[in-house]
Amino acid sequence: MRRILKKLFYKNVSVVEYSGITIRDTIQEKVYLKINNQLIDVSAYHWVLCLQPLIFGVWISKQDGNRDISINKPFSLLFRESNPSKKLADVSLSLFNIIEEQNGKLLLLKAEKSKIWHTTVFETILLYLFFYRKPGFNFKKFKLYVSAFSYPRQVRMVSFQNKDYYNIFPMDLAGPVAGANYYVFGLRHTSKALKEIINEKKLVVSEVPSDYKKIIYELGSHHSSTPPPLNQLPFQAILSKHFCFPVPKWAEKYNEIRIVHTMNLGSHMMLWGQSENEEIINPQKSNLYHIHFLLSLIKKRASPDYIEV
């Protein structure tokens, strides 16, 4: 039945869970945090940090800090396509924790339930039943993951080194707080580098072009395995200026991050840090992003600006 369905409706489409894309112009989606019927545009200030449970990090600057943020107040994230205007998803949230800083606060918000409008209800259920249903992955969780990746999640490289141990691996559960010098990461507990990073309280994060997608995905195996010797990597690495951590020579830029807070969120550990140094290495190119297949399907049908890689 799956083959028949694919042949009839998705003949020239690769039905996957997450699509790797580049963006020709700008991100077309918007994300709003709703607090007491007030909306704050957090498109560039929110991140997925944990998958089980699904937890978002949302940065609220000091100018928005006078909003009534209480554990008893309802929160929601609204995902919208801006051109053309279209509802994508609404996610109801509860407050998990808060990290306070002088110039703002990081809200850690746990997803409770969601509604999605990417395709018709019939097509959504059909896709779930024939392509995504698996043990422990019910329709509620499916909708939550579709919602979370209804905004492009940029893939970055994380580097660490301590004596004979090093690691370089990609992450899409990470991002900077623009203009505030902070960086946040959601690192899976199964990552071999996690304990080392927490002990040393530092890492390097790099912006990388989508041209190196194949190598980036190959480095993904380093999360839970021991990487080969540094001199056997299929690319040349340079050392960061202060930490002397290896960085791909083809990276656009890197930030050396000092970790100041860690928090266990569930399947992932949150790392909250400050950038101590930024270095530009190469001109900026198109980056690699991940979106859910249902969002990818909309783009294939209506927009040429999101390009699969």
Most confidently predicted of 54-68, 119-133, 272-286: 272-286
The enclosing H or E element of 121 equals: helix 121-127
On whether the CB atoms of residues 114 and 75 are closer than 8 A, the answer is no
d(CA 290, CA 48): 12
Question: What's the pLDDT tens digit per position in 173-210?
Answer: 999 998 889 999 999 999 989 999 999 999 999 999 99
Question: What's the pLDDT tens digit per position in 78-92?
Answer: 999 987 789 999 999
Going by pLDDT thresholds of 50, 70 and 90, the confidence category of residue 48 is very high
From 113, 10, 104, select the one nearest 57 (Cα to Cα).
104
d(CA 303, CA 309): 15
Sequence-separated (6 or more) residues with CB below 8 Å from residue 140:
113, 114
Name residue 193's amino acid: A
pTM above 0.85, yes or no: yes
Q: Read off the pLDDT of each residue in 4-14 and give the average, rounded to a whole number.
A: 55
Write down all domains in the chain, each with its CATH number in brackets.
28-151 (2.30.110.10), 156-280 (2.30.110.10)
